[in-house]
Structure 1
């Protein structure tokens, strides 16, 4: 398989505010360009064998691009690294079996590495971790298109903590119902999480907000929501509205919570779009008695023993 490769050596620093990448946006121009190249007049400049890109090494055929193109940001979890551990970040452009003679290749620009906290804690009694989607990939400065997240082969590669992506979704920081981030589910895609250690055969209420990203998406949306053995479809218009789904827990150790978009929607420019999900909250039905009942029974039993 033929490929182009560009590599950057990363040194993980002990402070989160230090820069992780050298020349992450390729604004430091290549050095030792071929004599016949002219970056001031050419859209693409082919790098020669003796050319160097500050902070990077490369193999194969690589060009420096000086034109403007529509861009799309992607997010990926790079895993856990130790302090002062050197990491090789390798970006490869690969052909497919049906397109072995292609002369068009992806263009790579600004990269951002964001550190995330080790432990997520429940928020306001929510039994779901990261139900507001506040813990996710970073956003590039002045970005207005969000970050695309694709399904990952392994849970450890998920960029959206505690959630599994099915298909493709967009992590957004604009027109958000609550907080600083939300999820826009694109055509025939979805997200999934799990609630653990729910009280067996107890009833729970799942509340959530559905709307749109105000990105010119045309038409209404149909969103399917599953919680345990309960499932319901919701029709969503542009205005963000709160919904709820009541379900009964089972004896399974993990209760699956799934949101799926059944609408193939596009903007007027032909860009995929879809419903926005935010504020996913899980509470016991009836003031939380299902969750705290065992604790009250223990306190009552200890009180009776102390009174003897």
Structure 2
């Protein structure tokens, strides 16, 4: 059984006391400056010559503050042949290159999520080299993805691992050649890093899913104007999108630059057929539940019909979203009963591949996924971020 209804942002209201609660709840997840020289704007200690030279080779007498390195590493300055966020500086990892930094974990056991920017090392590259990014419990392999954004750089997210107080976290970047001919390889350029710590999420009465609103993921950089790309993450507990596994490539989008139906963040499924997100939850066997969710488009000129398969337990249904690319949302739901399996899968998968007229891959937006027991009296309350901001300003004035 399914049901759907149109929604609008203006109708998303909530009680004052609950706003205050969520205000302080989310303040507990603010990012800290864990990394030194995370944007590489502090230059090498013994940098000499013309500072406008786009590439300067580092050596034992010419190191970069906050970082240690091995192999061929160059300090990069934005210019005519090298586009960088904010027209600043970055690091290029060449042949057999590594760069790393160790930082101190903060508080009790926290999950650490990395956001970073990646750019190709030149304008006419025959191939993009890969880069391996490693944390204490996870690693990912990245390369610049063509047709996933209009900028000459892209932001990515990666789950680094779980660490406790007084433990150290080692962050390592390492280049990987993709061809035998090194001269034909475009070595990766790294810029604008941000580490976020997230505590263990607690299940609430108003939603049996953890992170159903996708508010807990990698932090957005000031230059993340086109969202953050999240590549495949097979485990929900080792995913940059907390508690959700990723299939294919999705884009983590923010309300500042995109249409987000609810809250500050949402998910756009961008890599086409079979891409999406999924999680698992333990529910009472034989009980009935209702899965609510919002599907729409991100107001990024992505036009057409999106088909999304929504699966809850053994029930699956396709939903079609007609998009004119200007930002829209529709609330829908699925009712299902839990089968004898130990866990119940919840997933959203794209059945279409879409591109804008500029050739940028895009797709359906998923947001505000809520799971409730039909036998409970749980109250569904939606938070208006504008009221949260007003409350924060009021508290600051009163203090």
Query: How far apart are residue 111 of structure 1 and its match?
Result: 0.5
Query: How far apart are residue 119 of structure 1 and its match?
Result: 3.1
1:84 and 2:170 are equivalent in the alignment: no
Aligned residues: 270
Contact kept in structure 2, 1:95 and 1:102, CA below 8 Å: no
Q: How big is each residue's C-alpha offset from its partner over 1:28-69, in whole Å with a ceiling of 9 and x where there is no partner?
A: 112324x6x5322x2323334521111112111122222224
Q: How does 1:109-258 map to 2 (within 5 A)?
A: 109-122=191-204, 124=206, 126-141=207-222, 143-174=224-255, 175-186=259-270, 187-188=272-273, 189-198=275-284, 200-238=285-323, 239-258=328-347
In structure 2, relative to structure 1, the CA distance for the partners of 1:218 and 1:153 (3 Å cut) is: same
Contact kept in structure 2, 1:204 and 1:283, CA below 8 Å: yes
Which residue does the alignment assign to 2:5? none
Q: How big is each residue's C-alpha offset from its partner over 1:279-307, in whole Å with a ceiling of 9 and x where there is no partner?
A: 1111233x5389xxxxxxxxxxxxxxxxx
Query: How far apart are residue 217 of structure 1 and its match?
Result: 1.3
Which residue does the alignment assign to 1:304? none
Which residue does the alignment assign to 1:71? 153
Which residue does the alignment assign to 1:21? 35
Q: How big is each residue's C-alpha offset from its partner over 1:81-131, in whole Å with a ceiling of 9 and x where there is no partner?
A: 23233332110111135765543111100111111122322252x221111
Where does structure 1 differ by over 6 angstroms across 4 or more consecutive aligned residues? Answer: none
- 1:38 pairs, out of 43, 46, 50, with 50
Query: How far apart are residue 233 of structure 1 and its match?
Result: 0.8
Bigger strand share = 2
Q: Any gaps of 5 or more consecutive residues in structure 2?
A: 1-28, 85-151, 379-399
TM-score (normalizing by structure 1): 0.80
Query: How far apart are residue 80 of structure 1 and its match?
Result: 1.6
Q: Any gaps of 5 or more consecutive residues in structure 1?
A: 1-14, 291-308
Query: How far apart are residue 172 of structure 1 and its match?
Result: 1.1
Which structure has the larger Rg over C-alpha atoms?
Answer: 1
In structure 2, relative to structure 1, the CA distance for the partners of 1:16 and 1:97 (3 Å cut) is: same
Q: Partners of 1:151 and 1:25 in 2: how far apart?
A: 26
Q: How big is each residue's C-alpha offset from its partner over 1:122-172, in whole Å with a ceiling of 9 and x where there is no partner?
A: 252x22111111111111135322111111254442111111111111111
In structure 2, relative to structure 1, the CA distance for the partners of 1:26 and 1:137 (3 Å cut) is: same
Which residue does the alignment assign to 2:23? none
Q: Partners of 1:156 and 1:251 in 2: how far apart?
A: 23
